[in-house]
Structure 1
Amino acid sequence: MDANLLQWKNQGQSFLSRLRTWVYLLDPSLLLSSDAEILKAHSLIGSPEKLDEKDDVSVNLSLSSSHPGTGAVLPLLFRPPAYLPISGPLVVGSLLPHSGVKAALFWQFLLQSYNAAFSYVHRNSSAEKEKKTSLKQLLLMAGTVSYTMCAGALPQLLIDRLHIRSSALQTFCRSILPIPLSAALAFFNVFTVRHQETETGIQVFDCNGNPAGVSKAAGSKAVWETALSRAVLFGTTAAVPNLLALFLQRRSFFQRNSLLMAPCRHIGVALVLGSMIPVSFSLFSPAGTINRDRVEKELQAGASGQTLFYHRGL
């Protein structure tokens, strides 16, 4: 079991402890560390006897910048501390009331491409035979991005193609429809990009950290939990600012100063997204658990303990 995964197993099994940890791990200043510093931090937490209370910085650096399944240094743009700085403008742009379909497709393409790549980088690849990305996986990711891009632009497409002029219908398309749509597309994006894990399975470990085999049941649980956490993130990010904007539009102050609505909406999206990222990442532990009775029978006999652990991904 990798040192990062072991750290999550020992200290991250409650929601509040994970939330507290993720608040520190999402610090953008961690992006300034070099690969050598990250590898050194990772090796340090792999030697508990050398670790003391003053090494919290090393723990945070390792957990935020190296893969919990392989220990490899994560690409800079896809490390958790980079998620808000990069996805924030993309989410704000995707939720704008666009004037045309092309603009909506453009912002959806950027957002869905980044989310697909982020999910792929943080996948569990323990059962993959090929180290390089296969053509099948590339085609699957391209199809996922294409579908979610078009589906994400559906509200603007309906307005343009159906020539909707009613303010009530426009409000529904721009403010209400994006809420379930954002959650559903976020779930679909993760589920399809990481679908291979449900087919090939992922490595599971017993309570002592020893490999117990490859389980498809654990792979399905890992993908489902990650997709659900991403749906909560984007569904909430779309819901709170949009519903708040609908409420503020009815206030006399904003009716007199309508130009203030746009910046308030953008700031609201950024604040909710920033608040929900650590919550979403904390919903399920990166060191996922599954009851031994739920995995394949051939794995049950050789595993010690009632609970098996696996790298859930992010």
Structure 2
Amino acid sequence: MDLNLQFWQSEGKTFFQRFYHWLDILDPLLLFKYNKEIEKSRTILSTSEPDITKSLQNKTIKEAWKLSLASMNSSTGDAIPFVFRPPALLPFAVPLAVGVLSLHRNVKQAFNWQLFFHAYTCGFSVSHGNCTQDSKELSYMQVLLSTGTVLFSAGIAVLPHYIMTRYQVPSPSTQSFLTFTRGPVTAALCVFNVLLIRSSEFQNGIEIMDSKGDIVGVSQKAGEKAVGETAISRAVMIGPALCIPDIVLHYLKRTRTFVQYPRLGGSLKIMMIISILGLMIPVSFSWIPQLGTIQRSSIEPEIISSTEETEFFYNRGL
């Protein structure tokens, strides 16, 4: 079992415990650490106190855990690309979310922002997914699938803007409806992206482990559970940040203050996106355990025939 998964096995038993740790792991300063420092942290952890709870009382070891959890893929054991590490999510996602919710002059501009947004979320999903047995042979297929998913999502998400500009919808209620649909449609497409981009995990299966961390087989059922849970987590993260600002501003714009200062809406929208996304990122990561569990009754017969374990573990990803 990877070191990061060992950490979550010990320290990820409750939502509040996971939330507390994610607040530390999402520290943006961790992005400025070099690969040598990351490797050093892994070396420290591999030789540290086996009781993880006790080891966290040591400041050096605690910092090593934070760096490892913020930088390494628990499935492959490789460093995650800089821009897709958890601490980079808020700084990169906020400008993209603002661009997605902005009113653009033309469809091309709106499409480009959607393209950038879905390309980033796609890269994040790929970077935090499980490595399957056939991943090397299907790497070109992953590129084609990801590219197609991003283009399709951007095209669908830009439809409300296209309808408003192409047909010049006169009804204020219809315009409001189309404006409100931008956030929910984009959020729904983010969930769709996770299911499609990580589809190889429930097609080929992912590794499952026993309580000692030994790999006992590759399970498609566990892959389905991992991808489904991650899709729910993504909805919890993206949905509120893309849906709430437009709804709140719709009602606030009727007040006297916003009538006098119309530009105030743009600043308030940015503040809401930052605050909502800043809260929902650790909430979504903590909502479902990083180290997932699946019962013996849900596993393929050919796997359970070789072991007496009643519960198995797998890496959910992010």
Which region of structure 1 is more displaced relative to structure 2, 54-63 or 194-203?
54-63
* 1:82 aligned partner: 88
Partner Cα distance (2:94, 2:117) in 1: 9
Partner Cα distance (2:94, 2:186) in 1: 14
Q: Is contact 1:39–1:73 with CA below 8 Å preserved after alignment?
A: no
Query: How far off is 1:301 after superposition?
Result: 2.8
Q: Is contact 1:198–1:223 with CA below 8 Å preserved after alignment?
A: yes
After superposition, the Cα gap between the structure-2 partners of 1:27 and 1:153, relative to the gap in structure 1 and judged at 3 Å, is same
**Gaps (5+ residues) in structure 1?**
none
* 1:179 aligned partner: 183
Query: Any idea what the Cα deviations from partners look like across 1:84-143, whole Å, max 9, x if unmatched?
Result: 111110111111122211111010000000111110011100x32343762211111111
After superposition, the Cα gap between the structure-2 partners of 1:97 and 1:38, relative to the gap in structure 1 and judged at 3 Å, is same
**2:312 is aligned with 1:303:** no
* 1:156 aligned partner: 161
Q: 1:138 aligns with which of 138, 143, 146?
A: 143
Partner Cα distance (2:12, 2:56) in 1: 18
Query: How far off is 1:70 after superposition?
Result: 2.2
Q: Which runs of 4+ in 1 moved over 4 A?
A: none
Partner Cα distance (2:133, 2:95) in 1: 34
Query: How far off is 1:238 after superposition?
Result: 1.4
Partner Cα distance (1:188, 1:130) in 2: 21
Query: Any idea what the Cα deviations from partners look like across 1:53-94, whole Å, max 9, x if unmatched?
Result: 222111111111111112211111111111111111011111
Q: Is contact 1:42–1:71 with CA below 8 Å preserved after alignment?
A: no
Counterpart code for 2:231: A
Aligned length: 312
SS at match of 1:213: strand
Identity of aligned residues (%): 37
Query: Any idea what the Cα deviations from partners look like across 1:257-285, whole Å, max 9, x if unmatched?
Result: 21211111122112211111111111111
Partner Cα distance (1:85, 1:132) in 2: 34
* 1:165 aligned partner: 170
Partner Cα distance (1:81, 1:15) in 2: 19
Q: 1:198 aligns with which of 195, 202, 207?
A: 202
**2:75 is aligned with 1:69:** yes
* 1:279 aligned partner: 283
TM-score normalized with structure 2 length: 0.94
SS at match of 1:53: coil
* 1:32 aligned partner: 32
Q: Is contact 1:120–1:194 with CA below 8 Å preserved after alignment?
A: yes
* 1:216 aligned partner: 220
**Gaps (5+ residues) in structure 2?**
none
Written as runs of structure 1 = structure 2, the 5 A alignment for 1:227-238 is 227-238=231-242
Q: Is contact 1:191–1:223 with CA below 8 Å preserved after alignment?
A: yes
Partner Cα distance (1:273, 1:33) in 2: 24
* 2:120 aligned partner: 114
Query: How far off is 1:167 after superposition?
Result: 2.1
Partner Cα distance (1:84, 1:242) in 2: 20
Q: Is contact 2:115–2:150 with CA below 8 Å preserved after alignment?
A: yes
**2:265 is aligned with 1:261:** yes
TM-score normalized with structure 1 length: 0.95
* 1:8 aligned partner: 8
Q: Is contact 1:42–1:66 with CA below 8 Å preserved after alignment?
A: no
Partner Cα distance (2:270, 2:169) in 1: 24
SS at match of 1:177: helix
Query: How far off is 1:45 after superposition?
Result: 2.2
Query: How far off is 1:8 after superposition?
Result: 0.9
Counterpart code for 1:47: T
CA-atom RMSD in angstroms:
1.5
